[in-house]
Chains A and B, each alone.
Chain A
């Protein structure tokens, strides 16, 4: 059953459309990542949910309750801000108590609930600390505790990890995920980091220029991107222009820079020009031979068990290919072919002929 619904949300600023008819249904207890490059409207979408912006069109519905025009004050959506926005003049305990006091919680009950919220984020006993004396990671946890203490209906996180040292990010990501699972709160978070979006989100919503491009599980997005943008934006890939010739014995035949490849497991697309988006692991390197794309190795990078090679083809395209480390070195001439288990790693998007 849908718990939180974004219904065709639209927001314009001075003539530019920041959020363009975004619709999304979120289940109770689900974590959704809004992923997109800067200017994609993900933060505006979050602020529309929080009530800091009022949409020009569309609605926000929680449990059948239309809150589109409801003030943030009464909406009961908890938010963790990018820079945490902790009140510098209040101590940790007073910060966490702030939202509870709005609900008229007082006395022993207030102290108990502040302590409970702090122990939830592993900060028990920090009530009397000054905000300025906390590390970045501690501030973030206090911000989480402050947002969770009044038991909001929805938790909103704005770039929750962007202010942390890279070395801290992975651990914090894990902690946040476990905490939110434990609390079971419906969560929407905004990020421009794929890893974060994939790791934290049960589903990921990819936004571009205010539009929702695709919503799905991380696996869905990677294996069957809805369009070129999602294919290129999600995961590593390289793109090359091809001409689709038509069905072949096994799969689909395409012409790419003079070579002809038969693609297995590829979705059927009509003949004509198309953009081919390929994951690095869907290609393999061999000696230059007929049927291969011939080019020069320009770069080699180690990424653990395999290496990533950048090949500049004679036709001028740049392709990223993964392969065993040290199999070729920079400057060498090589041929490129789809690997035998290319599987879902090659996507074709027809282009209107020009």
Chain B
């Protein structure tokens, strides 16, 4: 075989594997939703349309996501302006703290809020105690509770995207506006905000998609309030498989429409991205009163943002059954952490999550590297298809993928490419892999694109063969990008809840499921201890990523 032929075969195999893993299960969902006992049918669509609670759940998903975008923007954008444009005492530390909600995996954030603001939470108990109330001052339930958690965990997208946008502004563009007679508001409205638009659209899209796919918050806090993700799981538990498929299709459609509406203007992105001058300097806040107010607000904010983390740590040291009505726990212990290590039954989830996240991350990185080599380096035909399929799982909510994989791999039909994997060791790592592919491939493809092709040519002209060039030049240069993608993928898989809850078995139960069952057995200490483990791993990985980012 010639080399060109070999590359084409490899590309074909890769595309086939991706289609089988990602597209095929989704197609099967579509097919099952439209087939009854007598072939093609619209019965389930009719059922879906007829039942009021379906429409309510879908509408619930949509409006919760829209309001989440609004809340996240209202919190994140002003914070980004405050920390990006002004200089005041404590700016650095606070600016770093503001991004901290990002280190809480979704389920961990939710249980932290439960420990904090739930009926028997720390804040509720304190208020009850201080005012001598009979009952908790509020219940953490319904749409309000979901929105609270969403706003807390997702404003970070707006914050980070706006900060990045502000940092890439060209100072002389702002000066040009001033010298052309535009005041502060006109400059903001006509120049700054339009230039930030690509970043803001990106943040809005990310927030909307994350919120639409959000499962932990509605699952724990929803109560009677249903969104589509929790509705799908409930329908499936009822055994109405075909209806669940139609629900899945409806949620996917909403996600795809959002993607299309907010796809953003690439043209503008390119125009705004090419900064030639220097970034605008921060405005130093001089007024003593203003500094004091900013400092006070800043630290209040920091405490507010850190409370969930601190509560989680606090609860993880509480012995089982000792903390009932007092505002602060009466006793502390290492017991909960020791349990994680000593009790083989309780330690199993830690081991499970570790190996499954590691295996899926390695596989996702390997596939991303092959895709990068073929698509960016070799510029093979069909590269758009490969990149498109790799990005697809990002646009599809995790619940949908869990359903799709459960559908595809619960039947034995080798000729149709279907095997019984549900109930085996392999289904969860496979699900994690599918969900990780967009993360690793986005980072790796960007890394490949940023590589100067003349470096490879230089290596070749110095007599390095293909493998030596790959090993000595390409891979070392890709390392920061690959590592960034891999660490994010690992964290996502390590803390995954939404796909795990539909696909786990007792032997493969991951940490998130153990947290849930500990919570159900009122063993909050162990739940919190596992939460702290997830939080620490996420924090360590993000710190590593930030380090790599500044180093590269």
Contacts and interface: CB of A to CB of B under 8 A. Distances in A.
A102 B182 CA distance: 6
B177 A98 contact: yes
B246 interface: no
Interface in A96-132: 98-99, 102-103, 130-132
A87 interface: yes
Contact of B277 (A74, A79, A81): A81
Q: Which of B173, B186, B194 has the most A CB atoms < 10 Å from its CB? A: B173
Nearest to B271: A88
Nearest to A88: B271
Given A103-B181, A131-B271, A146-B180, A89 B195 contact: yes
A89 B191 CA distance: 8
Given A73-B182, A85-B277, A132 B177 contact: no
A79 B171 CA distance: 14
B502 to A, nearest CB: 44
Nearest to B183: A73
Contacts of B550: none
A208 B181 CA distance: 32
B268 A88 contact: yes
A83 B170 contact: yes
Main secondary structure of the interface of B (DSSP, over half): helix
A21 interface: no
Contact of B176 (A79, A130, A150): A79
Contact of B181 (A76, A86, A88, A132): A76
A88 B272 contact: yes
Interface in B166-181: 170, 172-173, 175-181
Contacts, number: 85
Contact of A150 (B180, B186, B272): B180
Contacts of B179: 50-52, 72-73, 75, 77-79, 147
Interface in A163-179: none
Nearest to A149: B180
B38 interface: no
A50 B268 contact: no
Interface string A145-188: 01100100000000000000000000000000000000000000
A89 B176 contact: no
B255 to A, nearest CB: 28
B176 A85 contact: yes
Nearest to A89: B194
A82 interface: yes
A85 B172 contact: yes
Contacts of B270: 132
Most chain A Cβ neighbours within 10 Å, of B175, B179, B181: B179
B449 interface: no
Contacts of A147: 179-180
Query: Which interface residue of B172, B272, B274 has the most chain A CB atoms within 10 A?
Result: B172
A81 B175 contact: yes
B194 A98 contact: no
A79 B181 contact: no
A160 B345 CA distance: 73
A294 to B, nearest CB: 49
Nearest to B198: A89
Nearest to A132: B271
A102 B176 contact: no
Nearest to A72: B178
A71 B187 CA distance: 14
Contact of B197 (A51, A74, A89): A89
Nearest to B273: A88
A51 B177 CA distance: 13
B191 A73 contact: no
Interface residues on A, range: 20 to 34
Given A83-B277, A88-B195, A88-B271, A71 B178 contact: yes
A81 B180 CA distance: 12
Nearest to B278: A83
B276 interface: yes
B302 to A, nearest CB: 29
Given A50-B179, A88-B268, A102 B186 contact: yes
Contacts of B170: 83, 85
Given A88-B195, A88-B272, A132 B178 contact: no
Interface string B183-219: 1001000110011010000000000000000000000
A199 to B, nearest CB: 25
A132 B176 CA distance: 17
B183 A82 contact: no
Contacts of B342: none
Contacts of B191: 87
B267 interface: yes
Contacts of A74: 181
A141 to B, nearest CB: 15
B84 to A, nearest CB: 19
A103 B186 CA distance: 13
Contacts of B176: 79, 81, 85-87, 146
A72 B175 contact: yes
Contact of B271 (A79, A81, A89): A89
Contact of B182 (A76, A81, A86, A98): A98
Nearest to B180: A99
Contacts of B180: 78, 98-99, 102, 146-147, 150
A76 B277 CA distance: 23
Contacts of A72: 175, 178-179
Contacts of A99: 180-181
Nearest to B176: A85
Contact of B175 (A52, A88, A103, A150): A52
Contacts of A51: 178-179
Contacts of B268: 88-89
A52 B180 CA distance: 12
A98 B191 CA distance: 10
A147 B270 CA distance: 25
Nearest to B186: A102
A52 B173 contact: no
Nearest to B182: A102
Contacts of A150: 180-181
Contacts of A52: 175, 178-179
29 contacts: A50-B175, A72-B178, A73-B178, A73-B179, A74-B181, A76-B181, A79-B175, A81-B172, A83-B170, A83-B277, A85-B170, A85-B175, A85-B176, A86-B173, A86-B176, A87-B190, A87-B195, A88-B195, A89-B194, A89-B195, A89-B197, A89-B271, A90-B194, A98-B182, A99-B181, A102-B180, A102-B186, A130-B271, A150-B180
Interface of A: 50-52, 71-79, 81-83, 85-90, 98-99, 102-103, 130-132, 146-147, 150
Given A83-B170, A102-B182, 18 more contacts: A72-B175, A73-B181, A73-B182, A75-B179, A79-B175, A82-B172, A82-B277, A83-B172, A83-B277, A85-B173, A85-B176, A87-B190, A88-B268, A89-B197, A89-B271, A98-B182, A99-B180, A146-B176
Closest 10 CB pairs of A and B: A102-B181, A99-B180, A88-B271, A83-B276, A85-B172, A85-B176, A72-B178, A81-B172, A89-B194, A85-B173
